[in-house]
């Protein structure tokens, strides 16, 4: 177990592969608002490994360097096609790891994490190995401290993908070789560190004296900036800041103000779409209904502001370039906020789904107001069970690549034959979905409610036996009677 390269002093050999898990802890999934059905992975280069006591350099021109405390599983013997029952037999050791990531470079890697997690020194491992034969894989504690203050504290018992499942799953795809390292995901509490901060990671086995010791890393400031002529530059937005820090509050971001006041929202909830349609027609707006969509929950009213997503017809080269990883669809669902309605342009194409249960859960966790798509929905029953108000063109089991390429979001789109712009007001009920320009909404809803009062009174007169002639619409005589009764 002797290594001449000091970077790998805590490991038996220089690892041939470092495989990292995207998401595995219940606490982290709750924080992110999404929980995958199956584990997913990415590779980190062995050149990113560092030992305890090393520095990590935050590149010039960046701000979002985040730590992630993880249990590192080190393979002790070559293995292939393991099962859950035999997986731990292939593990030689466990130790602590810090899966650093630079969120400034995250968006353009589409989930591969090549640049944002592959930098030199971005994978500190150590300080000491623990013999895996002495360890229960369902009872390993992982903790992180920043400048002496506890930041993460969880246990492998809180993983929804157990360690043995991850090892067995990877072994069915390729040979796990002695010295390979599996970084098994991080719990809630990961956040941003800045130059001068000291991060300590430790794993131990509760009830024993088995510990990795403290894995210590100090953050320093780099002086070299990225070269714009060579590739994409660092770029951040409030979503990246929120995810890097762990919350809007931690990132110092103000809570987003609702686009609709409580009073206006209440009025829209009380106003039927048919009444809003009539008022918009009076103002010359006839092409404002999203046609061909039906509600999953007919009794649920939909009110919110539009956030948009556009799919274009599938073209194989475009799907290869734009369909995978952190594509426009996933970016839109990750960015949707409380009170927003995600409106999806799918050209009325019924032959493919435009969302499934995982994305519906994500939108619901973000407190979105609902979803409107003129395409299909897959996992229809599971999506319906989420309870979010959703209007669609029906059910279809196919994924995007059959008919669609996720192309762009937060742009002007066409959904159900109607133009929708980000920020438009979306209202839906069992009659359908309507789009209201924000500048008109106050007047439209006020007059629509007034018209509802009139129509209710007219309905009472008709029910009492009066003919509709002269009453609907009201002539001068009926108008005078109505106004007299409502004078007070």
Say if residue 80 carries a ligand binding annotation.
no
Closest CA to 233 of 396, 63, 370, 353: 63
Closest CA to 100 of 149, 63, 56, 47: 56
Angle (nearest 5°) at CA 32 between 29 and 37: 45
Say if residue 158 carries a ligand binding annotation.
no
d(CA 367, CA 343): 15
Beta strand extents in 317-364 (DSSP E only): 340-345
Cis peptide before 231 (omega within 30 of 0): no
Per DSSP, what are the bridge partners of residue 211?
A: 204
d(CA 449, CA 460): 17
d(CA 246, CA 146): 14
Q: Tell me, what DSSP letter sits at residue 5?
A: S
Say if residue 357 carries a ligand binding annotation.
yes
Say if residue 299 carries a ligand binding annotation.
no
Per DSSP, what are the bridge partners of residue 395?
A: 377
Q: Give the 3-state secondary structure of residue 355.
A: coil
Residues 6+ apart with CB under 8 A from 369: 302, 303, 304, 305, 338, 339, 340, 341, 389, 426
Q: What is the DSSP string of 368-389?
A: --EEEESSBBSSHHHHHHH---
d(CA 215, CA 201): 5
Compute how many other C-beta atoms are within 10 angstroms of the C-beta atom of residue 344: 25
How many Cα neighbours within 13 Å face the side chain of 135?
Answer: 29
Backbone angles phi, psi at 352, to 5 degrees: -165, 155
In the chain, the largest separation of any two C-alpha atoms, in whole Å, equals 102
- Reading the block at residue 222, the tokens are 């780099």
Surface-to-core class of residue 289, CB atoms within 10 Å of its CB (0-12 exposed, 13-18 middle, 19+ buried): buried
Say if residue 359 carries a ligand binding annotation.
yes
d(CA 52, CA 215): 5
Say if residue 292 carries a ligand binding annotation.
no
Backbone angles phi, psi at 128, to 5 degrees: -135, 155
The answer to whether the Cα torsion of 340, 346, 350, 351 is positive or negative is negative
| 8 Å CB contact between 260 and 305 | yes
Binding-site residue numbers for Mg(2+) are: 379
Binding-site residue numbers are: 356-359, 378-379
Binding-site residue numbers for substrate are: 356-359, 378
């Amino acid at each position: 177990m002797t290594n001449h390269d000091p970077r790998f002093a805590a490991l038996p050999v220089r690892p041939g592969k470092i495989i990292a898990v995207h998401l595995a802890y219940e606490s982290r999934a709750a924080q992110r608002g999404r929980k995958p059905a199956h584990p997913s992975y990415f590779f980190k280069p062995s050149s990113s490994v560092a030992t305890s006591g090393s520095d990590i350099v935050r590149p010039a021109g960046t701000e979002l360097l985040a730590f992630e405390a993880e249990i590192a599983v080190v393979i002790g013997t070559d293995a292939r096609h393991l099962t859950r029952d035999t997986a731990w037999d292939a593990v030689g050791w466990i130790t602590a790891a810090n899966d650093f990531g630079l969120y400034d470079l995250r968006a353009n890697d589409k989930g591969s994490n090549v640049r944002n997690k592959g930098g030199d020194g971005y994978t500190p491992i150590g300080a000491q190995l623990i013999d895996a034969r002495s360890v229960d894989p369902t009872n390993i504690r992982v903790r992180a401290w920043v400048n002496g203050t506890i930041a993460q504290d969880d246990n492998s018992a809180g993983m929804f993908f157990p360690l043995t499942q991850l090892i067995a799953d990877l072994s069915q795809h390729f040979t796990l070789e002695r010295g390979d390292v599996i970084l098994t995901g991080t719990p809630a509490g990961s956040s941003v560190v800045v130059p001068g901060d000291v991060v300590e990671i430790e794993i131990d086995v509760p009830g024993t004296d088995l510990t990795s010791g403290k894995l210590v890393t100090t953050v320093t400031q780099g002086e070299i900036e990225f070269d714009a002529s060579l590739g994409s530059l660092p770029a951040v937005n409030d979503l990246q800041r929120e995810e890097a820090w762990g919350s809007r509050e931690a990132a110092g971001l103000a809570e987003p103000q609702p686009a609709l006041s409580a009073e206006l929202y209440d009025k829209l909830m009380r106003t039927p779409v048919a009444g809003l349609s009539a008022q918009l027609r009076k103002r010359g707006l006839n092409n404002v209904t999203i046609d061909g969509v039906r509600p999953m929950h007919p009794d649920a009213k939909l009110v919110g502001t539009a956030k948009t997503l556009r799919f274009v017809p599938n073209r194989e080269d475009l799907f290869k370039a734009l369909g995978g990883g952190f594509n426009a669809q996933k970016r839109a669902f990750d960015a949707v906020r409380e009170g927003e309605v995600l409106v999806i342009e799918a050209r009325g194409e019924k032959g493919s789904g435009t969302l499934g249960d995982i994305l519906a859960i994500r939108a619901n966790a973000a407190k979105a107001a609902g979803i409107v798509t003129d395409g299909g929905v897959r996992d229809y029953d599971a999506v319906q069970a989420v309870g979010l108000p959703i209007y669609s063109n029906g059910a279809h089991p196919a994924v995007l690549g059959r008919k669609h390429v996720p192309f762009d979001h937060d742009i002007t789109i066409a959904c159900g034959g109607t133009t929708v712009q980000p920020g438009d007001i979306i209202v839906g009920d069992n009659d359908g979905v309507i789009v209201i320009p924000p500048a008109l909404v106050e007047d439209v809803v006020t007059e629509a409610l007034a018209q509802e009062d009139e129509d209710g009174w007219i309905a009472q007169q008709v029910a009492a036996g009066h003919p509709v002639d002269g009453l609907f619409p009201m002539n001068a005589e009926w108008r005078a009677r109505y106004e007299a009764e409502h004078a007070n």
